Amino acid sequence: MDYNLNHSQSKNQSNRSLDRWLRFLEWACPSALYEGIEGDLLEQYELDVLTIGERKAKRKFIWTLIKFLRPGIILRNRFSLSIINTIMIGNYFKVATRNILKRKFYSFINAFGLSIGLAFCMLIALYIQDEKEFDQFHENKSSIYRIEEKSFDTWRHDSVDPYNRSAWIQTGLAPTLKDELPEVKYATRYNSDNRGIFRYEEKVFTESLTYVDADFFKMFSFPLIKGNADRIFLDKSEIVLTPAIVAKYFGDVDPIGKTIRIDDEGEKSYTVTGVIEPAPANSSIHYDILISQENRSYYERNMNNWGNFNTPTFVQLNSDADLTTFKTNLDKVIDKYMRDKLEKWRKEATVQIPMDVKMFEYEFTALPDWHLKKEISWEKVSDPQYSIILGGIAFLIMLIACINYISLSLTTSASRRIEVGVRKVVGAQRNQLVYQFSFESLMLSLASMVIGFGLVVLFLPAFNEYTEKGIALTMSKSIQLVSVGFILSSIVGLLAGSYPSLFLSRFKPAAVLKGGFTSRLQAGFTKPLVVLQFALSAFLIISSVMMYRQMQYITTKDLGYSKEQVLVIPTQTGWNEQANRAVEQVRARTSSEPAIASVTGTSSSFNQGYSRYGYKIKGEQKSAYVYAVDPSYIPTLDIQMVAGRNFDSAIASDTMGVIVNEALVRDMKWTDPLNEYLNWREDSVGLGSPIIGVVKDYHFLSLEQKFEPMFLSMDKKNIGYLTTLMVRLKSKDLAGGLGKVKSIWMELFPDKPFDYTFLDEDVAKQYKSYQRWMSIMGLATGFAILISCLGLFGLAGINAVNRTKEIGIRKVMGADLRAIFILLNRQFILLAFVAFCLAAPLSWWFITTWYLKDFTYKVAMTWELFALSMGAGLLLALVTVSYHAIKAALINPAETLKYE
Amino acid sequence: MTKRIVMNKDYLGEFEELVLTMVGILQEEAYGNAIVNEIKERLGRESNLSAVHVTLYRLEDKGYVKSSMGGATNTRGGRRKRIFSITNAGLAMLRTMKEARTDLWKLVPRLNYDLL
């Protein structure tokens, strides 16, 4: 490219930059045409330099040059190339296969690294896609809305967002909206997860009931297998089942027209009039058994009570409905039905509520947005942040996997210099060499895509379990995944192939074949990359170890009561006196059983719902959690008393008294709690309940929360009945104890199902979402570690190849294995160290601000954690790079030096 | 009576025709840059070097011009020129197009002439 411009030396600099552009054009342009084009460009440039000055001329030159990159020029390339390709492709294939097989181990590692990256990305892509597709299958999705309430919270009046938002709405709203608002086409209420005892012939089990309205079947696209959507629920004693329930009770018999009995606070008969497909995994609504809302307990009373929020409500609007009018109409409904109540609330509030603040409002969310609207608590609701974080991790892992693939390919191709030399001598054109190398690399990357897809299929069930999703690989999804994977791996393959091919094909054959030839693979970009990927792995290691330790801490922390070996059994009697009698019966029957230590009853176990009462004392708004208990509650759970005494069934007045926790004492600022009264019923005549004891604070709430005021009471009428039975087993033989309890249950209550959980499992369930995240992070960490080790392996390989000769000389001069080992590994240790220094503060920040902030009780982040993670990471790095170091150190120097 | 204008089934675009004409005009000096400058000089019209090149290659594909490399010069960084010359088919095409135009022009009513 040494053309002579008749210009002075000083212009050489600019000519060189023009030269680069020309080279680029030469690459893009068919060689037959190139000379004429280049000449024209230069001629014009020379002319322009004289007329418009050098700078402008140069700009014009470049611009004109760029315009040559048009299809009319570039596409002319193809004709000459396609001939070579078709002839040589068979040969490329053969050579590629041979090369891959020759270095089985390397090829495997290389392909495997990329497939892991691809597999991880595909899984995350599936996850994100599933999140996006949640609830999208409903035909009427764009016109279905969930009504939500937004109410001013006097407890939080001074916080940034002093509103409560919830999807729980008055029972009367759905019929009212349908009757009074012209926009509303259909409306249904939806109460899921009600437990009821289902009875058909001799089969009796507890099932989850869902109460809906007739419009439910018209609004949502859940197909009915049997029955007519327009006629279901004309009568309130109709029932619709899913095929699973049908199979469980009816077997192969057609269930339509059969009568079953269900006990949900009162037994009723129902006739099966429909069978409905179950909701898919990516649905915000789910059900097993559908019955009409009118069967809910206290239905009539709730219909008229606009202060009682007890059901989610969905509406479908007419297609021409205007959302602003709908909102105004909702406000009118509030004004009509709730005005008196709202004014009363405003007046009674302990804080002054400004008149411009609305006490209460209805809001609504379109069906496709339910799943990611995390402000409203809902089953399966998800945080869009999860998708972002996972997507980010997937992107990073993919990036690292790709660059690793490239650096690993570099290592292997370096040893093929001689091959390139011979090929050139025999007459291979440079282009052909480029195609050959690219083809090989492409083959390997496509193979890794296939492996990656295989990994996806293999890991999908586990992934579904981790993420609690039900993603199925359908045909269309597989095709999507494979095609995206194909494009990705082709790009990576070409990129990975292009650098070594361009690099190797540049050698002068004579120099290569003569032997006196040293070259270094230039892989400068891999060093920062190693730091980056090690930093990422270190970040993930520290984060997941931290999550693990927090989980450990939570599960082993002393909660202030003993949660082991306690069975939790619902009494299945409903909310009445029978519940307490059932507890008594069990206690009386088991008192002589050696396997059972003690029996107690309570209103609810931990993490199975709670009651919280709000009350005003001396003008101050207070609240406390309440549990109905019996005298054996405290001893059975091993709760410690700090003052006073336990309830005593012999003292009749104890039903009036309460036992409070220390947090309540602090909240009330009592100094002598045993002489105080807790007037939680706001009794204007009496003093309230006398305090008969104080228990040491125990974690009746999740460890995300701090100790809250709480009291225990035996007051059946005002607090509640003992609807939950707790049985402490004596021995560690849980299965035996459980069998014993079950047989006693069947003997005492033969017509009631025996449902049970273990207390420690109930408690652990509170942290399920954290457990899930820990698993996902663990998975990501595993992937990241594996991939960064592969990358390090590649870099170490390049390093060893580059220094083969140096090592040979050093060995001749007397260096031993140890010296060479240190020589080769020193820099990696340094890189890993730098990576850790970057990762440590980052993970500290991540864990403290994002993860641990949810917990009030948390494990401390100590320096040992960092030291340990760093040590483990360094060790891993060392093991990885040692392969090359030892291999290089063991080569006989004569081998490497014999050509000199 | 309508007279049917017979056109060759190959059709030349306006710019193609212009470039082809320039090749005819410039004779031995017909190469990319010269054509660009000639168009500018004679018609005052700016054209793209790359567009001219592409057009020339297209004309060559169609067989209206042929090209050969000229001798090396001191200018142009020592690069040779690709000189284009018009073929008989190209000349015939130009002639056909010109005649077709003239025939069409004759069909424009006389009346309009007077008005001009």
Tell me the per-residue pLDDT of A737-753, one tens digit each, with 9 for 90 and over. Answer: 888 888 888 888 888 88
Looking at residue A1, its pLDDT comes to 40
Distance of alpha carbon A133 from alpha carbon A137, whole angstroms? 8
Q: Render pLDDT for A625-646 as a digit per residue (tens, 0 to 9).
A: 889 898 989 999 889 999 888 9
- Nearest-CB residue to B79 (from A3, A64, A72): A3
Using a CB–CB cutoff of 8 Å, tell me whether B33 touches chain A. Answer: yes
Q: Which of A163-167, A223-227, A797-801 has the highest mean pLDDT?
A: A223-227
Distance of alpha carbon B81 from alpha carbon B70, whole angstroms? 5
Whether residue A193 is found in the same domain as residue A307: yes
**Residue with the two structure tokens 């031995």:** B28
* A interface test, pick of B37, B38, B54 with most A CB neighbours within 10 Å: B54
Whose CA is closest to A404, among A536, A541, A543, A518?
A536
Inside any domain, residue A391? yes
Using a CB–CB cutoff of 8 Å, tell me whether A41 touches chain B. Answer: yes
Whether residue A39 is found in the same domain as residue A173: no
Looking at residue B84, its pLDDT comes to 92
Whose CA is closest to A41, among B10, B103, B33, B19?
B33
Looking at residue A270, its pLDDT comes to 92
Distance of alpha carbon B70 from alpha carbon B83, whole angstroms? 6
Whether residue A388 is found in the same domain as residue A355: no
- Once rounded to an integer, what is the mean pLDDT over residues A850-866? 79
Q: DSSP assignment, residue A673?
A: G
Q: Among A58, A75, A92, where does a domain finish?
A: A75
Looking at residue B114, its pLDDT comes to 54
Compute how many other C-beta atoms are within 10 angstroms of the C-beta atom of residue A833.
16
Q: Which two tokens stand for residue A730?
A: 């004596």
Quote the pTM value: 0.66
Q: Render pLDDT for A677-716 as a digit per residue (tens, 0 to 9).
A: 888 877 777 788 889 999 999 988 888 888 888 999 888 8
Distance of alpha carbon A782 from alpha carbon A540, whole angstroms? 9
Distance of alpha carbon A602 from alpha carbon A533, whole angstroms? 53
Looking at residue A85, its pLDDT comes to 55
Q: Which two tokens stand for residue A322?
A: 């205007």
Distance of alpha carbon A564 from alpha carbon A570, whole angstroms? 18
Looking at residue B5, its pLDDT comes to 47
Number of helical H runs and strand E runs in chain A: 27, 24
Whether residue A668 is found in the same domain as residue A791: no
| Residues sharing a CB contact under 8 Å with residue A307, sequence separation 6 or more, in sequence order | A170, A341
Q: Are the beta carbons of A113 and A132 closer than 8 angstroms?
A: no
Inside any domain, residue A110? no
Q: Residues A519, A521, A527, A530: is their CA dihedral positive or negative?
A: negative
Burial letters A173-197, b for 16+ CB under 10 A, else e:
bbebbbeebebbbbbbbbbbebebb
Whether residue A530 is found in the same domain as residue A592: no
Inside any domain, residue A167? yes
* Count of residues making up chain A: 900
Strands A658-661 and A710-713: antiparallel
Higher pLDDT: A280 or A15? It is A280
Q: Do A64 and B58 touch (CB under 8 A)?
A: no
- Give the minimum alpha-carbon distance from A79 to chain B in angstroms, rounded to a whole number: 13
Looking at residue A694, its pLDDT comes to 93
Looking at residue A246, its pLDDT comes to 92
- Percent of chain A having pLDDT more than 70? 93
Whether residue A849 is found in the same domain as residue A798: yes
Distance of alpha carbon A234 from alpha carbon A214, whole angstroms? 7
Whether residue A819 is found in the same domain as residue A686: no
Q: Which two tokens stand for residue A81?
A: 């190339």
Q: Render pLDDT for A499-547 as a digit per residue (tens, 0 to 9).
A: 767 777 777 777 766 655 455 555 566 677 778 877 888 888 888 888 8
Whether residue A234 is found in the same domain as residue A303: yes
Judging contacts by C-beta atoms under 8 Å, the chain B residues touching residue A76 are: 57
Distance of alpha carbon B69 from alpha carbon B85, whole angstroms? 11
Question: What is the domain range of residue A409?
Answer: 384-553+768-897
- The amino acid occupying position A190 is Y
Which residue from A minimizes the CA distance to B82?
A: A36
Average confidence score pLDDT of chain A = 83
Q: Do B48 and A67 touch (CB under 8 A)?
A: yes
Distance of alpha carbon A110 from alpha carbon A401, whole angstroms? 9
Q: Do A4 and B78 touch (CB under 8 A)?
A: yes
Which residue from B minimizes the CA distance to A19?
A: B77
Distance of alpha carbon B116 from alpha carbon B113, whole angstroms? 5
Inside any domain, residue A106? no
Q: Are the beta carbons of A274 and A232 closer than 8 angstroms?
A: yes
| Residues sharing a CB contact under 8 Å with residue A92, sequence separation 6 or more, in sequence order | A435, A436, A439, A440
How many domains would you assign to chain A?
A: 4
Whether residue A441 is found in the same domain as residue A542: yes
- Nearest-CB residue to A67 (from B31, B50, B77): B50
Using a CB–CB cutoff of 8 Å, tell me whether B57 touches chain A. Answer: yes
Which of helix, strand or coil describes residue A309?
A: strand
Distance of alpha carbon A469 from alpha carbon B21, whole angstroms? 71
Burial letters A673-706, b for 16+ CB under 10 A, else e:
beebebbbeeeeeeebbbbbbbbebbbbbbbeee
Inside any domain, residue A353? yes
- The amino acid occupying position B94 is L
Q: Are the beta carbons of A658 and A713 closer than 8 angstroms?
A: yes
Looking at residue A776, its pLDDT comes to 79
Burial (CB count within 10 angstroms: exposed 0-12, middle 13-18, buried 19+), residue A45: buried
Q: Among A733, A760, A787, where does a domain finish?
A: A760
Element (H, E) at A224: strand A224-226
Distance of alpha carbon B44 from alpha carbon A557, whole angstroms? 89
Burial (CB count within 10 angstroms: exposed 0-12, middle 13-18, buried 19+), residue A217: buried
Whose CA is closest to B14, among B88, B81, B90, B97?
B97
β-bridge mates for residue A239, sequence order: A272, A291
Q: Render pLDDT for A63-104 as a digit per residue (tens, 0 to 9).
A: 888 888 888 787 776 544 444 556 677 888 888 888 888 878
- Percent of chain A having pLDDT more than 90? 11
Whose CA is closest to A394, among A841, A845, A779?
A779
Looking at residue A316, its pLDDT comes to 93
Q: Among A309, A337, A369, where does a domain finish?
A: A369
Element (H, E) at A125: helix A104-133
Which of helix, strand or coil describes residue B13?
A: coil
Judging contacts by C-beta atoms under 8 Å, the chain A residues touching residue B68 are: none
With a cut of 60, say whether residue A213 has pLDDT above it: yes
Q: Which two tokens stand for residue A386?
A: 């999860």
Burial (CB count within 10 angstroms: exposed 0-12, middle 13-18, buried 19+), residue A90: exposed
Whether residue A627 is found in the same domain as residue A728: yes
Q: Render pLDDT for A435-465 as a digit per residue (tens, 0 to 9).
A: 788 888 888 888 888 999 999 999 888 888 8
Higher pLDDT: A2 or A341? It is A341
Q: Do A35 and B80 touch (CB under 8 A)?
A: yes
Whether residue A835 is found in the same domain as residue A889: yes
Q: Which two tokens stand for residue A878?
A: 């060392």
Looking at residue A520, its pLDDT comes to 57
Which residue from A minimizes the CA distance to B70?
A: A36
Strands A710-713 and A620-628: parallel
Distance of alpha carbon B76 from alpha carbon A42, whole angstroms? 5
Q: Do B76 and A70 touch (CB under 8 A)?
A: no
Using a CB–CB cutoff of 8 Å, tell me whether A73 touches chain B. Answer: yes
Q: DSSP assignment, residue A851?
A: I
How far separated are the first and last CA of chain B, in Å rounded?
A: 25
Using a CB–CB cutoff of 8 Å, tell me whether B82 touches chain A. Answer: yes
Burial (CB count within 10 angstroms: exposed 0-12, middle 13-18, buried 19+), residue A312: buried
Using a CB–CB cutoff of 8 Å, tell me whether A62 touches chain B. Answer: no
* Residue A626 phi, psi (nearest 5): -130, 135
Using a CB–CB cutoff of 8 Å, tell me whether B77 touches chain A. Answer: yes
Confidence class of residue A343 from pLDDT cuts 50, 70 and 90? confident
With a cut of 80, say whether residue A14 has pLDDT above it: no
- Nearest-CB residue to A36 (from B48, B51, B82): B82
Inside any domain, residue A323? yes
Whether residue A575 is found in the same domain as residue A690: yes
Distance of alpha carbon A170 from alpha carbon A489, whole angstroms? 55
Judging contacts by C-beta atoms under 8 Å, the chain B residues touching residue A38 are: 77, 79
With a cut of 70, say whether residue A157 has pLDDT above it: no
Q: Which two tokens stand for residue A261?
A: 């009995």
Looking at residue A86, its pLDDT comes to 64
Distance of alpha carbon A869 from alpha carbon A864, whole angstroms? 8
Q: Which two tokens stand for residue A544?
A: 């997941």
Confidence class of residue A5 from pLDDT cuts 50, 70 and 90? very low
Q: Residues A656, A657, A661, A665: is their CA dihedral positive or negative?
A: positive
Using a CB–CB cutoff of 8 Å, tell me whether A127 touches chain B. Answer: no
Domains delineated in chain B: 14-115 (1.10.10.10)
Q: CB pairs under 8 A, 24+ apart, for A464-469? A: A466/A772, A466/A775, A466/A776, A466/A779, A467/A127, A467/A772, A467/A776, A468/A380, A468/A772, A469/A127, A469/A130, A469/A281, A469/A282
Q: Render pLDDT for A796-852 as a digit per residue (tens, 0 to 9).
A: 777 777 777 788 888 888 888 888 888 878 878 888 888 888 888 888 888 888 777
Inside any domain, residue A796? yes
Instruction: Report in angstroms the alpha-carbon separations of A378 from A142, A165, A371, A382, A823.
Output: 19, 11, 8, 9, 59
| Residues sharing a CB contact under 8 Å with residue A82, sequence separation 6 or more, in sequence order | none
Inside any domain, residue A693? yes
What is the residue-wise DSSP string for A61-108?
A: HHHHHHHT-SHHHHTTHHHHHHHHHHHHHHHHHHHHHHHHHHTHHHHH
Looking at residue A43, its pLDDT comes to 87
Q: Render pLDDT for B46-104 as a digit per residue (tens, 0 to 9).
A: 888 989 999 999 898 888 999 888 877 777 778 888 899 999 989 998 898 888 888 88
| Residues sharing a CB contact under 8 Å with residue A155, sequence separation 6 or more, in sequence order | A614, A621, A623
Distance of alpha carbon A130 from alpha carbon A124, whole angstroms? 10
Whose CA is closest to A41, among B108, B81, B70, B105?
B81
Q: Which of A92-96, A522-526, A550-554, B29-33 has the highest mean pLDDT?
A: B29-33
Which of helix, strand or coil describes residue A523?
A: coil
ipTM: 0.84
Q: Render pLDDT for A564-582 as a digit per residue (tens, 0 to 9).
A: 888 898 887 777 788 888 8
Using a CB–CB cutoff of 8 Å, tell me whether A35 touches chain B. Answer: yes
